[in-house]
Amino acid sequence: LLDRITGYWPDGGQAGLGRVRAEIDVNPQDWFFKCHFMGDSVQPGSLGLEAMIQTLQFFMIEEGRGVRGEGRPRFEPIQIGEAMTWKYRGQVLPTATRVTVDLEIIEKGDDYAVANASLWVDGLRIYEASRLGMRIVEEGRGARGEERTSGDELLDPAQEAWLGDHCP
């Protein structure tokens, strides 16, 4: 999704833990403008959040965080016991020219990082996300080292009552 990294400051940001800036050139021919929404084309908001996540992943790779040696690392979102907040204040329209992601690291460890991020369209801030977290784990293992046999999880509506609220 990202076209380029335009700024990387390993000691930047208010906490001094790192800051990254990334850019995306808006192409009015992109697939999502043709189908989201019919007659009122906008980039899906989830792609803005994905751009923030990819910027955080760039930071983690650049810093050399995560699995070392022969392991096969993969990214995994983390729940840190606090709400991750995401605010919309505008849209990415096909008439825009550039999307910019600005990300500040607010917490980091050997295999994880937590950031606050904002997304700008042609100089106007339209999204804001706080406490966006990501970790790197070895393929086939969860965050606590438990073995996983697949990426799928079987949910039983009899055991998980909340699933009743998520039916079509």
DSSP 8-state class, residue 83 = P
Question: Exposure string (b/e) for 105-134, b if CB count within 10 Å is 16 or more?
Answer: bbebeebbbbbbbbbbbeeeebbbbbbbbb
Q: For residue 135, with 0-12 CB atoms within 10 Å meaning exposed, 13-18 middle and 19 or more buried, which class applies?
A: buried
Distance CA(13)–CA(117), nearest Å, equals: 11
* Residues taking part in catalysis: 36
